[in-house]
C-alpha cells in the first residue's frame, strides 16, 4: 500500500523525460540549420558588402557584413546562442509549471498554517489549487500522513520516518525533470568561448599567412583581417555570458523550489510527531 501513490506517477515522469530528451534531440540540429541559413542568406546578403560581392570588405558600419566576415566559425557560435535561447524558454516554461499557479512562498505559508491547525484536508485542497511539482510532493506527504494516522503496525517514530521517506521519494521523481537540459546550457558556457577563440586563431593564421604570401606589409589589410578574426571571440564571449546568466537564474529558481519542499516536508514530519507523541 505504501508504494501505491508512486506507481501512477512513474510512467508520467518517464514520458516527460522522453519528451524532454526528444525536444533536445530535435532542437540542436534545427538550431544549427537555422544559424547556417541566417549566416548565408541574411548576413551574407550582397547588400552588406562593397560592390555587392561577399568576397569584398563589408560596407563600413554594416554589422551584418562585418559579422559574416568572421568566417565559418560564426554560424557555429550562432547556433550555440540559438540553443541557449530555445532551451532557456523551455526551462522557463517547465519551472513555471513546477512552481504552480500561485506564489510558492505564499503556498508554503498556507500549508504550514493548516498544519499548525491540524487541518490536513484543507492543506491537501490547497495543493490541488496550487498544482505543480512542489504541490505534488507536498500532497504525497500529506496523503502518507493520513495513512499513518490509521496505521497500527508502527510506532510514532517509524511513522514519521515513513512520511519523510515518502516525501523524499516524491521529490526524487519530480525534481530531476527541472534540471533536464540544464547540462546543455552549462556546456555552452564553456564551448562558446572556446569555439570563439578557435575562430580567432584560425583567422589570425589566415591573416598572417596572407601577409607572408604577399611579401609586402599592408597595415590596413592586416588590421581588417585581425578585426574579422576577433569577431569570433566577441560572439563566443557574448554567447557564454548569456549562457552562464541563464544557467544561474534557473539553478537559483530550482534551489528555491527544493528549499520550499524541504521546509514544508520538515513541517509535515514535525507536525505529525508533535501531534502523536502521546499516542505511543
- 37 inside domain: yes
> In the predicted model, what is the mean pLDDT of the chain?
86
What global pTM score does this model have?
0.84
Cell numbers that stand for 223 in this block: 588590421
Predicted confidence at residue 164, as pLDDT, reads 92
Query: Nearest 5°: CA angle at 17, between 11 and 21?
Result: 145
Over residues 30-43, mean pLDDT:
96
Cell numbers that stand for 28 in this block: 540542436
C-alpha distances in angstroms, 60 versus 42, 48, 70, 71, 238?
Answer: 17, 9, 15, 18, 22
Q: pLDDT confidence of 221, banded at 50, 70, 90?
A: low
- 233 inside domain: yes
Pick from 6-10, 115-119, 174-178: least confident: 6-10
pLDDT > 50? residue 54: yes
The domain of 84 spans: 4-177+187-279
Q: pLDDT confidence of 64, banded at 50, 70, 90?
A: very high
Over residues 259-279, mean pLDDT:
85
Our separate counts of H helices and E strands in the chain read 10, 0
For residue 60, the 8-state DSSP code is T
For residue 47, the 8-state DSSP code is G
Highest mean pLDDT of the ranges 12-16, 179-183, 225-229: 179-183
Cell numbers that stand for 148 in this block: 499513518
Predicted confidence at residue 14, as pLDDT, reads 55
Q: Bridge partners of 49?
A: 58
- 182 inside domain: no
- 124 inside domain: yes
- 70 inside domain: yes
Number of domains, the chain: 1
Give the whole-angstrom CA distance, residue 168 versus residue 99: 18
Quick check: 198 and 40 in contact, CB under 8 A?
A: no
Pick from 15-19, 52-56, 74-78, 225-229: least confident: 15-19
- 50 inside domain: yes
Over residues 157-164, mean pLDDT:
91
Amino acid at each position: 500500500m505504501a508504494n501505491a501513490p508512486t506507481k501512477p506517477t512513474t510512467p508520467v515522469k518517464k514520458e516527460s523525460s522522453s519528451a524532454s530528451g526528444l525536444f533536445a534531440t530535435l532542437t540542436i540540429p534545427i538550431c544549427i540549420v537555422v544559424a547556417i541559413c541566417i549566416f548565408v542568406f541574411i548576413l551574407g546578403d550582397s547588400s552588406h558588402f562593397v560592390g555587392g560581392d561577399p568576397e569584398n570588405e563589408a560596407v563600413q558600419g554594416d554589422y551584418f557584413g562585418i559579422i559574416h566576415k568572421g568566417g565559418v566559425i560564426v554560424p557555429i557560435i550562432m547556433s550555440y546562442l540559438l540553443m541557449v535561447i530555445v532551451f532557456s524558454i523551455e526551462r522557463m516554461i517547465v519551472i513555471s509549471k513546477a512552481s504552480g499557479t500561485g506564489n510558492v512562498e505564499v503556498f508554503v505559508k498556507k500549508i504550514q498554517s493548516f498544519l499548525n491547525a491540524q487541518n490536513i484536508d484543507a492543506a491537501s485542497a490547497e495543493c490541488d489549487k496550487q498544482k505543480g511539482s512542489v504541490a505534488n510532493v507536498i500532497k504525497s506527504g500529506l496523503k502518507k500522513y493520513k495513512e499513518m494516522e490509521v496505521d497500527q503496525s508502527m510506532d510514532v517514530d517509524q511513522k514519521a520516518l515513513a512520511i519523510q521517506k515518502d516525501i523524499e521519494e516524491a521529490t526524487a521523481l519530480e525534481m530531476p525533470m527541472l534540471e533536464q537540459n540544464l547540462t546543455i546550457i552549462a556546456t555552452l558556457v564553456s564551448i562558446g568561448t572556446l569555439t570563439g577563440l578557435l575562430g580567432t586563431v584560425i583567422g589570425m593564421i589566415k591573416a598572417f599567412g596572407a601577409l607572408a604570401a604577399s611579401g609586402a606589409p599592408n597595415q590596413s589589410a592586416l588590421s581588417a583581417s585581425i578585426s574579422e578574426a576577433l569577431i569570433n571571440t566577441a560572439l563566443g564571449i557574448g554567447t557564454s555570458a548569456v549562457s552562464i546568466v541563464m544557467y544561474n537564474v534557473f539553478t537559483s529558481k530550482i534551489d528555491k523550489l527544493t528549499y520550499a519542499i524541504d521546509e514544508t516536508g520538515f513541517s509535515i514530519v514535525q507536525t505529525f510527531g508533535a501531534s502523536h507523541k502521546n499516542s505511543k
